[in-house]
Structure 1
Amino acid sequence: MDFFDALVRYETNLWNHLDDAVRHAGAPGLATLSALRVVDRFAPAGRVQELRDELRITVGAASKLVDRLEREGLAVRHPHPTDRRSSLIALTAAGETVLTRGTQAMADALADHLAGQDLTEVTSLLARLDRSLSGAPVVTAEAIR
């Protein structure tokens, strides 16, 4: 339990630190920046499904997130050329600008914070731990009782 508590505390502190850094640079918060990074990574064929998968949120939450990105002028939906039920999501020029600004601020803050750490090893460990839970059944409170 100590590992879990320490990991959650660190994740929360790191999130807050990076969120402050990107906002100070004039970019939207880390949640929005994370969404923009996913849209950019899957361009030009990103869909709500990629946001759902990458951010590990529900389809409804991902759809609302895209609605918000559109309202803020950071992304736009285009009709999917072969699937009428789906849309493709693209960054606008404003979205690309804040993505660049926010990503640089995030990279600078991480570099300052993690200077001297072996990030390859840590990243590999975290990815391996994450993969071990991907697809694992969700344990509910009822199952524990």
Structure 2
Amino acid sequence: MNFLPWNVLLRKQSGNVTDLPHVFSDLVRAETRLYNGVDARLRNEHGLAASQYLFLRAINDMDKCRVNDLARAIAITVGAVSKGVDRLEAAGWVSRRPNPENRRSSLLEVTPAGRVKLEAATVTFQDALEKWLDNPAIEQLAASLAVLRGELEAADVGRPIG
């Protein structure tokens, strides 16, 4: 299989990337393999799935986090987030408390045990990413992906429904 090198992927030729379907495929496959590799390390070393790590991290970083906020931030359905939060709560890593501003929702908080799990897993997460994303072109790729993500989010493209 032919893969475009980073410099070709990032270089614009006459305003167009060389082969957009190929770039799309490479981007999706690279993300899937990277995610699965990180997931395997987190599971082996911490008993924590990558999705659980990302939930814990987002909840920890968000003030007054609700399930809807988490779903919006991670770009998955509310139902999937709710099930994931249920698992985190059952593990003792997240707690729900009544939302004083809206009785129909709860606020999510990382528990002390969840913070310990998150801190330990963050070292592994960072190490796994540094292993695969240590590339001279990564800064340019990161900037390009941030622009693309911002444009997609501003246009409300690909927002999960439900």
Same fold (TM over 0.5): yes
Matched to 1:91, the amino acid is: V
Asked if structure 2 preserves the Cα contact closer than 8 Å seen for 1:73 and 1:94, the reply is yes
Q: Which residue of 2 aligns with 1:3?
A: 23
Q: CA deviation at 1:52?
A: 0.6
Q: Which residue of 1 aligns with 2:132?
A: 113
Asked if structure 2 preserves the Cα contact closer than 8 Å seen for 1:46 and 1:89, the reply is yes
- Please give the alpha-carbon distance, in whole angstroms, between the structure 2 residues aligned to 1:116 and 1:64: 36
Report percent identity of matched pairs: 37
2:65 is matched with which residue: 43, 46, 63?
46
Aligned-residue CA RMSD (Å):
1.8
Secondary structure class of the residue paired with 1:123: helix
Secondary structure class of the residue paired with 2:101: coil
Matched to 1:42, the amino acid is: M
Q: Which residue of 2 aligns with 1:80?
A: 99
- Please give the alpha-carbon distance, in whole angstroms, between the structure 1 residues aligned to 2:128 and 2:136: 14
Secondary structure class of the residue paired with 1:77: strand
Q: Which residue of 2 aligns with 1:65?
A: 84
- Please give the alpha-carbon distance, in whole angstroms, between the structure 1 residues aligned to 2:70 and 2:54: 9
Q: How many residues align?
A: 138
Q: CA deviation at 1:51?
A: 0.9
Secondary structure class of the residue paired with 1:85: coil
Secondary structure class of the residue paired with 2:46: coil
Secondary structure class of the residue paired with 1:134: helix
After TM superposition, where is structure 1 displaced by more than 6 Å over at least 4 residues in a row? none
Q: Which residue of 2 aligns with 1:142?
A: none
Cα distance change of structure 1 residues 119 and 138 upon mapping to structure 2, 3 Å threshold:
closer
Larger radius of gyration: 2
- Please give the alpha-carbon distance, in whole angstroms, between the structure 2 residues aligned to 1:125 and 1:3: 13
Secondary structure class of the residue paired with 1:128: helix
> C-alpha deviations, 1:60-81, integer Å up to 9, x for none?
2222221111111110000112
Q: Which residue of 2 aligns with 1:99?
A: 118
Asked if structure 2 preserves the Cα contact closer than 8 Å seen for 1:27 and 1:98, the reply is no
Q: TM-score when scaled to structure 1?
A: 0.86
Q: CA deviation at 1:15?
A: 0.6
- Please give the alpha-carbon distance, in whole angstroms, between the structure 2 residues aligned to 1:138 and 1:111: 30
Secondary structure class of the residue paired with 1:57: coil
